Structure 1
Amino acid sequence: MIRAENLTKRYGDTTVVQDLSFTVHPGAVTGFLGPNGAGKSTTLRMILGLDAPTRGHATVDGRPYARHTAPLTRVGALLEARSTHPGRSARHHLTALALTHGIPRSRVDRVLALAGLTQVADKRVKGFSLGMGQRLGIAAALLGDPATVVLDEPVNGLDPEGVLWIRTLLKSLAAEGRTVLVSSHLMSEMALTADHLIVIGKGRLLADTTVDALVRASGGAAVKVVTPEPDRLRDLLPGAGITVEAPDTLLVTGPDAPEIGRTAAAHGLPLHELTPQAASLEQAFMALTHDSVEYQGAPA
């Protein structure tokens, strides 16, 4: 279990993280989300003892990371995939880490196979692609068979097969009862992988909830309506948000499908399609973090 209590980090006059509290429970994949500059990386660094908080504290299984006598066997982390010596092979890199904790060489072979790197285990890391570097970083995170796994943008550089692999891996780790915290900007992937979400913006907690609850709370669900009389439907639904998808197709927010159907029937309006469209996690995230985005582009 990871627990952050009133975490605050300041650099001079700039507050990067402010009074941030949350708990990451075992047995679930928890997505850690936020716009660029939200304070995600700083928070992860404080959890892993790489940055000292200005105020508050973070613990893993009840104690600060630095106080674990064999941290690799308690917490596996990937913050920067390229933090390896380019002249070493993947096997040598993992073996050097294993020797610091008395981890057997057989475990090195195990995680190389798990990450799909067995065939390139003896090649120098400097020749690795970004995706291979990510796989090596994940292998290093799992080297100590830790109960807690913290990964920052683990799908960066991975091809579709690699993305499916990491998705399956994260779910299997959680199913084993491990604590899994994953930072990502890919909302579509988080929607498929995460059970729980912690969302921050400008260093503050915005949401600590499930994926389904966040999407429902966003109110972004819509109804696709196909009708030969779209202008008439607009007049019948004056309070609705209506987007024109095609000459005969509207996306309606506000009233639900039964309400739209009843209104159309009462006025003899023909409908060729009436389909609820679930809001996406991306839509919910964008709505939640709209005021926390550091840079906003203008419409094209």
Structure 2
Amino acid sequence: MSSQNFYASMGGLPPQTELLSSKAVFTTAYAVIPRTVMTDIVTSYLPHWEGTRAWVISRPMTGFSETFSQYIMEVQPGGGSDRPEPEKRAEGVLFVVEGEMTVEFEGTAHAMRAGSFAFLPAGSSWTLWNSSGAPVKFHWIRKAFQEVDGLEPPPAMFTHEDEHPPQAMPDTNGVWATTRFIDPADLRYDMHVTIVTLEPGGIIPFMETHVMEHGLYVLEGKAVYRLNKDWVEVEAGDFMWLRAFCPQACYAGGPGRFRYLLYKDVNRHMPLW
């Protein structure tokens, strides 16, 4: 079920002849950031990173993401960082969509390629460098870790989607499946990042309405997504943010499978302010 077709063609700049119509939208319930707006001029540069730029597609702010930030990182050959994470309380997930890189965690080097996944606990020591001859692109999802008295911190994880067979959802005949890197029953983790796969014609057959906030980056294929009251066409390279309790469902449009990288916050009580 692994794929070498993850979308990774962000960058460039549209011509002056381009029309300005777009499906980009920002609402209080959801946002859609299509791949067409992820151009060169909207990139960010980060302290202590060399040969690197980032598309910031989610960040905590009023009326938007509350629990996480998400970057698409592009690291040139020879680029990287010995001081990648400035926040001691930040945990992270890395997922590679193109190219190769090496993450050294607590003194051990881990080679990562397209489809590789890493969970990096808060306060850990790690570095990241691209020693290959081509750029590497990966998603970096960051979240402030929520400690729980009596639970030990979650351990690091380095793996690949090939090592995690997709688990079919009940009563779907395998057309809707989830690749889970972290055991859902392990309460040490307060975030999950998974890959959801829908075969052509497959659907999420009800309007999901739940407390988990979502970030969805389309890795492959296309679909029609229901977001709150609206139907939106999405394709590989598009990003969606869904606020907690935003109703959601979708139809996979084909002709190939529809796959997306999914973030959600889990396993914690709701804070009471």
Smaller-chain TM-score range? 0.3 to 0.5
Relative to its length, the structure with more helix (as a share) is 1
Task: Give the TM-score, by structure 2 length.
Answer: 0.33
Larger RCO (alpha carbons 8 Å, 6+ apart): 1
Relative to its length, the structure with more strand (as a share) is 2
